[in-house]
Chains A and B, each alone.
Chain A
Amino acid sequence: MITSTPPLAHRLRWTFADGLTLVGRELGRLRQEPGELIGALVFPAIMVVLFGYVFGSAIQVPDGGDYREYLMPGLFAMVTFSAVMGVMTRVATDASRGVMDRFRSMPMARLAVPFGQTGADLLTGLLMLAIMVGAGLLVGWQPHRGLIPTAQAFLLMIVLRYALSWVGVYVGLAVKNDQVADTMVPLFLPFTMLSNAFVPTGGMPGWLRFLADWNPVSALTAVSRELFGNPGAPSGNVAWPLAHPVAAVLLWSAALLVIFVPLSLRAYMRRGR
């Protein structure tokens, strides 16, 4: 018996087409539950109000800028990091409800599933970012350095978001249980707070400051502050990721992709369990 493997071009085409179908699935879900998008934004929105107006009056921005201008890049970073939790929850739900098994038992392109899930997250990520930009403009934030740096900042957010969504795929496949995934969601909070997103890291105790400086949230926040021309540019003796935030974000993205894409694909393709 001859078992012909379909040519590569054919497989790639179907991987792409099936991936797109899964991105379309996300649109279908959003149409049914538009509130989900809002739900994901409730937290950053509360942060805008809470930090922007309540604590903001008492927090001193290093070079004397407006605190809400200082805060928004941190919230953009926070929204970017929600990719991990969002994708993790969706993948774990699919795995525990048997939807993942249905995909596996269908004659569809296998790689389309993780690529479709991360692609779908990109779609929701862009929508969430757009809403956050709207919220930022409302509270008086704005980019000051022109089109190109602004576009660069958003591009870097998207690149890092995509890399982070693969972390979500891997963790979701590893926990395989939507309830466990749900209990992990709150971990997101301390992770994003332990950074320069809300307050400068300069005042933190040494070991905490070290963690905060090397947190990718901090690098992404620093990138936005620099490229949007928002206050809070670090000065003096700062850690490497904050002194070179663009390089740091690109390196973080590359490292996450190099580690988590193969891990996720292996976890997804692995059979016999």
Chain B
Amino acid sequence: MADPIVVAEGLHKSFGDTHALRGLDLSVPRGTVCGVLGPNGAGKTTAVRILATLSDPDAGHARIAGYDVVREAGKVRARIGLAGQSAAVDEKLTGRGNLRMFGRLSHLSRREAHRRADELLDRFGLMDAADRQVAGYSGGMRRRLDLITCLILRPEVLFLDEPTTGLDPRSRGEIWDSVRELVADGTTVLLTTQYLDEADQLADDIAVIDHGQVVATGTPDELKATIGDRLDVVVEDPAALRPAATVLNALTGTDPTMTGADRLSVALPGGGLRLADIVRELDRAEVAAADVRLRRPTLDEVFLRLTDRKESVR
């Protein structure tokens, strides 16, 4: 289990003056889902393209199932599937036509390519649309077709670059189900996403990247634990927000965030502060609190904190 199937060490990649990757390290154990999380321009796509042999790193190296992505690209390609940021299928062909073509290009025999196409269409619920032209598919169907096109050769590692960007919640759920099914079959999945709930739902491990480097790794729970608990305060009168903020700042040493017209949220420093103390201090400042609550941070808050963007003050 601990045997990593995807390993990247010190990957660097520049495009002119843009340093897309600056020493990216990654390690994904076989049979797990690794979520690569990062804001726009963090270098997610660049990293995936290098791992999928589409692009060479300027420095550093990467191995898939023990094969070097640069020197043994052919061996790597035989073991991976890539669903890029856009649905890479031929719009002019039917869904079945696409799968058959990619099956033949994967060097399956004609009969085997046809059989595999039907099998995948059936299993992933596209049989009804199989003979329709892809140009008429919905965004979700297109994405699903794109995903199953990667599965023709039963890849050991599947790279999904933002597989659900632009999909409605239902289509997104369907893609998630498909990914879970693949993982149950033993496929290793590396997926990039900007949606934290997606990583929360699917990933065993998360690597948060920013400015081309990994800034944190861990399970979703571990990441949440790294930034400590959050305190939410709801005041009865919005005019009390300012004094409440002053109190919270004095207690925690950080400026609270306004999360609504009548509420504040603040990160608690590790240990030392008890709910009772906070309530008493608010009382002393004559802030009438409707609700004071301690909670685990959301992955969003972890993400914003780690990627050093300003927390939204609406």
Contacts and interface: CB of A to CB of B under 8 A. Distances in A.
A272 B72 CA distance: 15
Interface in A237-273: 271-273
Interface majority SS (helix, strand, loop, mixed), chain A: helix
A189 B97 CA distance: 34
A144 interface: no
B209 interface: no
A105 B74 CA distance: 9
A209 interface: no
Interface residues of B, number: 36
Contacts of A103: 105
B133 interface: yes
A32 interface: yes
A145 interface: no
Contacts, number: 86
A32 B92 contact: yes
Nearest to A102: B88
What bracket does the count of chain A residues touching chain B fall in?
Answer: 20 to 34
Contact of B101 (A24, A97, A271, A272): A24
Contacts of A24: 101, 104
Interface string A116-130: 000000000000000
Contacts of B62: none
B72 A97 contact: no
Given A3-B75, A25-B101, A28-B97, A99 B88 contact: yes
Given A105-B77, A106-B105, A107-B74, A271 B85 contact: no
A63 interface: no
A98 to B, nearest CB: 3
B32 interface: no
Contact of A3 (B71, B88, B91): B71
Given A25-B101, A28-B101, A272 B86 contact: no
Contacts of B49: 101
A271 B55 contact: yes
